[in-house]
Structure 1
Amino acid sequence: MAFHPPVAIIAKAGDSGKYKVGLPAWNMLLRGFLAGAFIAMGGALATVCSTNIAASAAAIKDVPGLAFGVSSAGFAQLILGATFPVGLIIIVLTGAELFTGDAMLAPVAAFVHKVSWMQVINLWVWVYIGNFIGSIVWAYIMANGPFVSFGMDATTGATTATITAFGTRAIAIAVAKTSYVGMMGMWSAFLKAVACNWLVNLAILLGICADDLIGKFFGIWFPIMAFVSSGFEHSVANMYFIPAGILTAGLTNTATTVNWVNMWTSNLIVVTIGNIVGGMFFVGVLYWVAFRKEIAALK
């Protein structure tokens, strides 16, 4: 499988960022919408596939021949992580725009090609809005699809909505993601967001590294699996996970602590900042500093 050396990867990342900041706003928004939906597709798949893992592990642990000692909590995280990467794989291979990836690619373009920081911020704003809209659309589809079962009350003839096991899992994820309280809670969310986008942008670089489909697939899959399984925080994924829980709870009148306000105050604001730091500094800045002389020699 053909692959590029590190200096070429960083140079290509700068080229990609330059191209992205030059897109018209409507195109940034459209591609951002697609990427938000694609990340949500991965999140929805991970939610469904990780549902009731703990119960399943408990049910089979004493069955002869199946007592292989699976840790239900760790195994559930592994399944969550193993299925989630489909979203970023689709994004990289189809050219959609993801805010967390642009948190690294656009600044590298500013370093390599001297594009303006206003262009970088303009890209971030439009892509972020597009990501949010796409995520909400897929959350609505899931909340009204697999997460809720609709029936009819035999007495009144009214439509009834019953939460499914997948919907219960979706609400639990949303509640967990808005459970950060106090300064230490916010610090924890921030650190998880930094670590998340550090890994996400390493996945982006590995995707750039390979020229063939299989190389890109595995280059992206492993770092994304690592961040999701580790329980880190991704702002665009949370634009799906939290609304999916809110919408599902609303349809089924399920009491929950998650709402549209604490989605932002207890997660998205601090996680977005952490994602920017993780992508821009720990990948973009550090790799630019490490290879800037070699990149200059390529020109």
Structure 2
Amino acid sequence: MTQEHLFSDAYQPIQIARRVESMGVAKARADTLTMLVLAVLAGAFISLGALFFTVVVTDASLGFGVTRLLGGLSFCLGLVLVVIGGAELFTGNNLLAMAWASNLIGTRDVLRNWFLAYLGNVIGCLGTVLIVVWADTANVGGGAVGETALQIARAKSDLTLSEAFARGILCNALVCLAVWLAMGGRSVADKILGIIFPISAFVTIGFEHSIANWFFLPYGLALDGQGVVSIIGAGRNLAAVSAGNIVGGTLLVAGVYWLAYLRGGHGEKVRRS
């Protein structure tokens, strides 16, 4: 293998596992102000991806599947900005469970990181909602964008608790896999390519992302002058989806890969062999 090939090839899964584990330690040790600032950025980034999705799926005539796919590709903007630009996203940070399972960080470290990330993400989302409302983006396309935003928020608030929870599980399995694949890339192009397919898949299918919903639902409520969007339903969605996201990220991705590569020092043995 040439040196050029060595440095251009993707990281192997065992190497990704170690990188994710080390990343978890670094994130857990980040100071509070840094965490909050980067988390606010992540909330804003995801909100911009959500707004991009809303505009793209508005008044489309290409059919349901194709329109959703284009919307999913547009939504990828959010995670691309988070990963390449550098930010702290609650759902992606569920991968800290790998460092926790390896006893490199404690439960308090994980909960602190998740709390700060979630809080900052929510602030970033709500701040973006305020600016988007101020910019009167809802009137783009003769008001069609606003109608689409209302429909999205209504559909989310109408989900049952079990539906929202299950869709949250499936969503964050794909989001954490996108982060996992991005960690396997060596160049910006590699990372973007790793992000596109899992993220566009979860959006196209209609799974639920808690942080994105902190944009979709408040934005819909801000535009709702006729009580179309249920406030109780919005709260139910955010609670159930957040819980589902934790299950999907920690158990279905972090837990599975930890068992495969890192349990009991197994990863270290594989790395040395």
Scaled by the length of structure 1, the TM-score of the pair is: 0.83
Q: Which has the larger radius of gyration?
A: 1
Once the two structures are superposed, what CA deviation does each residue of 1:177-224 show, in whole Å capped at 9, x if it has no partner?
1002xxxx2111111110000000000000000001111011011100
Q: 1:295 — aligned with what?
A: 267
Matched residue of 2:102: which SS? helix
CA contact (8 A) 1:198 1:278 kept: yes
Are 1:137 and 2:127 an aligned pair? yes
**Take 2:129 and 2:234, find their aligned partners in 1: how far apart are those partners?**
14
What one-letter code is carried by the residue in structure 1 that aligns with 2:112?
Answer: N
Structure 2 residue aligned with 1:284, among 236, 254, 259?
254
Q: 1:256 — aligned with what?
A: 227
Aligned residues: 262
Once the two structures are superposed, what CA deviation does each residue of 1:123-148 show, in whole Å capped at 9, x if it has no partner?
00011010001011111222232434
Are 1:219 and 2:159 an aligned pair? no
1:269–1:163 CA distance, 2 compared to 1 (3 A)? farther
**Take 1:286 and 1:139, find their aligned partners in 2: how far apart are those partners?**
36
For residues 94-133 of structure 1, the aligned pairs below 5 Å read 94-104=85-95, 106-133=96-123
**Take 1:146 and 1:6, find their aligned partners in 2: how far apart are those partners?**
45
CA contact (8 A) 1:146 1:166 kept: no
Q: 1:171 — aligned with what?
A: 150
**Take 2:138 and 2:235, find their aligned partners in 1: how far apart are those partners?**
25
**Take 1:202 and 1:35, find their aligned partners in 2: how far apart are those partners?**
18
**Take 1:259 and 1:75, find their aligned partners in 2: how far apart are those partners?**
29
Runs of 4+ residues over 4 Å off in structure 1: none
Q: 1:240 — aligned with what?
A: 215
Matched residue of 2:91: which SS? helix
Matched residue of 1:85: which SS? helix
Once the two structures are superposed, what CA deviation does each residue of 1:145-198 show, in whole Å capped at 9, x if it has no partner?
243449xxxxxxxxxxx9711111111101111002xxxx21111111100000
Higher fraction of helix: 2
CA contact (8 A) 1:146 1:167 kept: no
Are 1:273 and 2:263 an aligned pair? no
Once the two structures are superposed, what CA deviation does each residue of 1:85-108 show, in whole Å capped at 9, x if it has no partner?
01101100122000000112x111
**Take 2:233 and 2:158, find their aligned partners in 1: how far apart are those partners?**
9
Matched residue of 1:99: which SS? coil
Q: 1:75 — aligned with what?
A: 66
Gaps of 5+ in 2: 1-7
**Take 1:225 and 1:33, find their aligned partners in 2: how far apart are those partners?**
23
1:9–1:230 CA distance, 2 compared to 1 (3 A)? same
Once the two structures are superposed, what CA deviation does each residue of 1:7-48 show, in whole Å capped at 9, x if it has no partner?
000110011111001011222111110000000000000101
Scaled by the length of structure 2, the TM-score of the pair is: 0.91
Structure 2 residue aligned with 1:33, among 26, 34, 40?
40
**Take 2:33 and 2:116, find their aligned partners in 1: how far apart are those partners?**
8
